[in-house]
Structure 1
Amino acid sequence: MVGETRISYGLLAAVLLVGLNLRSSIAAVSPVLPDIRADLHMSSATAGLLTSLPVLCFALGSPAALWLGRRLGIYRALLVGCLVIALATLARPYAGVGLLLAATVILGLAMTVGNVLMPAAVKRDFGSAAGRITGVTTASLSTGAALAAALTAPLAVWLGWRHALAAWAVVAVVAVVALARPAARARHAPAAERPRRHETGARLRTNRVAWALTAFLGLQSVTYYAVTAWMPSLLRETAGLSLADAGLAMSLFQVLGIPGTLMVPVLVHLGRDQRGLGGSIGVAWLVVVLGLVLAPGLWPIWCVVGGIVQGMGISYAFTILVLRSADDHVAVRLSAMMQLIGYIVGASGPFLIGLIQGTTGSWTLAMIPLAIAAVGLTAAAIVAGRDRVLHV
């Protein structure tokens, strides 16, 4: 594996390929959703489940992902996860509505394995470069989502929506091939060298920094998923954008997440700690939320700032997770805790904003919870950003 100063680029490529698969099959649905609904006679509520179910799986599947990693080892578990992603991605477009939703649940659970175990792999195998590598691996998630959002519609014109969705199984198969060697070489640590997992989990549940990181991920997810779900509708109603322009705004927002994720590893080591960086992310989110409702005509500014800050936010959460963890055992437990609670909170964002807007008819009132979330995000970053390491 990798020491403190040398990076195995084959191992890095395998981890990056895993990252490409952790959002792509979800992002691929949106461009062809009208075709899916028309062919399967699907209601709008059922269509919404295609994007909300995987986020809930990210939360509810975290304990199972932790168990699988402990049972098989990190790289074998990642290989199994990518294999299931490939099979579910390949099968789900050719089923009816019920099986389509069931396959989406399986897909979300398989992605959760990568969500939980990738930070532990980076912490263990990339030594002093772990902080920088975390930014790159997080960028791979945004890259996979951006590629799927950009390429699925053209593929659907050529192949039809079913084949266009199934085509993303190829990326998962490539990841399986890349993981074969590290999975074959992986060894479990002797039992005496493993921390007592119940004790580790109990100590994390009483640690302020662990809870601050969990709050940061949850509030970042609330804001990101709510803006992703509702920004096109908001801009069409308040700024008079056409359907095409609203789609352009969303594409800009998503694509700029890639440079946003890559900025964090550069910025994270500039100060004595990361409180200033995390606080700035929270303040920027507040500016974006207020800008969308108070000055929607300036939407290009809010899309650019929001795109960069959403990438920075997710990268910050996972980079600080790695930096605060004393070793890979702490990293995997902390990752599971953050994602179990954080993504449950995150999945509530789109529903809450839609409920308020539908009840009141006011986008201003609907966005108030996101403004509160941005303030909470800033407070969580001040606690999580202090230069401490979790030795639990």
Structure 2
Amino acid sequence: MITTRARSAVGGASGLLLVAIILYAFNLRGPIVAVAPVIRELAADLGVTDGTAGLLSTIPVICFAAATPFVAAYLRRASLERAVLVSLALVLVGTVVRSVGGFPLAIAGTIVIGVAITIGNVAVPVIVARDFPSRVGIVTGIYTSALNIGSVITTIGTAPLAALVGWRWALALWGVLVLVAAVVWRIATARIAAAPVSAPSADAADSTPVPADSIALLPPWRRWDVWLLVAAFGAQSFSYYGSSTWLPSILADTIGLSKDGAGAASSVFQLMAIVGSLGAPALLARGLPLRTVSAVLVGCWLVLPTGLLLAPHGYLVWMAAAGVAQGGFFTMVVVMMVRRSGGSSNMRRMSAFVQGLGYCLAAAGPVALGLVHDATGSWTAPLLTVLVMVGIMAAAGLTVASAKPVATID
């Protein structure tokens, strides 16, 4: 049986740990999106094309897939507390290296950032499941919201900083957030280590765990539920990264929005993720079944490709609905993993396996949709592709959401 350290609900060790997770999350997407507002200045200064400079935004997603097996091996040996500090140190190093030299150093720094963020991708769901067993859904929602808020902060702040101090310093100065997160994380985990130990309570979003044919004893690659989680997470990530990349172009080409207008409109897709990531676990906490909440989110996701195909001028509504869905469904996948993991050791392996393969699909999303558009000359086929992927996400995710929780074995 897993044991968890007792914490007071407000102002104690758990509250500070939650703050530390939020600050950590600010650094798990922000360093990636910070490049976009200064991409043209960066490209001109480094002597590369805008397309080549775009690698600085796509390489981290490739790292999420490629580095996950190595991160999983590292997490088997290192404590989660130390792993987060290593992750933050690498984000800081990568941020500085990316800003100090030519394009090869920018690429090298970006790879370091991608590997560092991969550690967080795998570690945070395990930390949440271990340290907040009765609030997995809502804490995961807060974490997911912090990812999006961090992206918004850096997206809004980088261009004004660059106007004052240049793009290099503008990117490097976000390292201050890394230092703040590291200090708070160190203090929080020190307090946790000193807290007394008590037995865990059940997750409010889960029903009582029951054995499921000893499935928890199997490695991830031999479990049907894990493969369905790979499909659900991968299809969601494919749709998210593909849509995020091409929504401005779709809006510009189909309804004639200006480049700036299309970019501003597509930000609705990102901002509404905050609503979904907090709203979905709130619905679970009010007693709605996981399958029901997941089904509502799937329906909202389907609105985006369907709406853009049939009534593109309603794009703000379609993007708002899908934004809620993409933020909420990510949280639901983590809740599903916790319900089906069978314990902290399994959760580490499952998180690494699901995200490693899932991000392979994510990295393919922007490229695949771009190739389909080039081959057909319209956005109909790419939107149909997203529709198919959301269908796969629905079938796989709702099947796992309907399954009973697995009993804890460690």
TM-score by length of 1: 0.91
Of residues 121, 124, 143 in structure 1, which corresponds to 2:127?
121
Residue matched to 1:317: 333
Ranges in structure 1 where 5+ consecutive residues have no aligned partner = 188-198
Point out the more displaced range, 45-54 or 17-26: 45-54
> Is this contact kept in 2: 1:78–1:113, CA < 8 A?
yes
Residue matched to 1:229: 245
2:150 aligned with 1:144: yes
In structure 2, the CA distance between the partners of 1:203 and 1:334, relative to structure 1 (3 Å rule), is same
- Structure 1 distance, partners of 2:284, 2:397, is 13
Residue matched to 1:326: 342
> What CA deviation, in whole Å up to 9, does each residue of 1:181-233 have, x standing for no partner?
3555788xxxxxxxxxxx97853222222222221110110111011000001
Point out the more displaced range, 252-261 or 6-15: 6-15
In structure 2, the CA distance between the partners of 1:288 and 1:238, relative to structure 1 (3 Å rule), is same
Number of aligned residues = 381
- Structure 2 distance, partners of 1:388, 1:381, is 13
Point out the more displaced range, 269-278 or 224-233: 269-278
Residue matched to 2:386: 370
- Structure 2 distance, partners of 1:275, 1:5, is 31
Tell me the amino acid that sits aligned with residue 350 of structure 1: P
- Structure 1 distance, partners of 2:331, 2:163, is 34
- Structure 2 distance, partners of 1:246, 1:215, is 30
Tell me the amino acid that sits aligned with residue 180 of structure 2: V
Q: Secondary structure at the match of 2:402?
A: coil
Residue matched to 1:290: 306
2:277 aligned with 1:261: yes
- Structure 2 distance, partners of 1:45, 1:180, is 39
> Is this contact kept in 2: 1:321–1:334, CA < 8 A?
yes
> Is this contact kept in 2: 1:2–1:127, CA < 8 A?
no
RMSD: 2.1
> Is this contact kept in 1: 2:5–2:192, CA < 8 A?
no
Ranges in structure 2 where 5+ consecutive residues have no aligned partner = 194-214
- Structure 2 distance, partners of 1:186, 1:223, is 38
Percent identity, aligned pairs only, is: 36
Q: How does 1:86-165 map to 2 (within 5 A)?
A: 86-165=92-171
> What CA deviation, in whole Å up to 9, does each residue of 1:286-331 have, x standing for no partner?
2211212332211211221122222112222223223333322222
Of residues 20, 23, 26 in structure 2, which corresponds to 1:17?
23
2:180 aligned with 1:174: yes
TM-score by length of 2: 0.87
> Is this contact kept in 1: 2:125–2:351, CA < 8 A?
yes
> Is this contact kept in 2: 1:283–1:374, CA < 8 A?
no
Residue matched to 1:195: none
Tell me the amino acid that sits aligned with residue 17 of structure 2: L
> What CA deviation, in whole Å up to 9, does each residue of 1:148-191 have, x standing for no partner?
1111112111221111111111111111112223555788xxxx
In structure 2, the CA distance between the partners of 1:38 and 1:226, relative to structure 1 (3 Å rule), is same
> Is this contact kept in 2: 1:23–1:141, CA < 8 A?
yes
> Is this contact kept in 2: 1:117–1:332, CA < 8 A?
yes
> Is this contact kept in 1: 2:239–2:389, CA < 8 A?
yes
Q: How does 1:30-109 map to 2 (within 5 A)?
A: 30-109=36-115
Alpha-carbon offset, residue 74 of structure 1? 0.3
Residue matched to 1:196: none
Q: Secondary structure at the match of 1:256?
A: helix
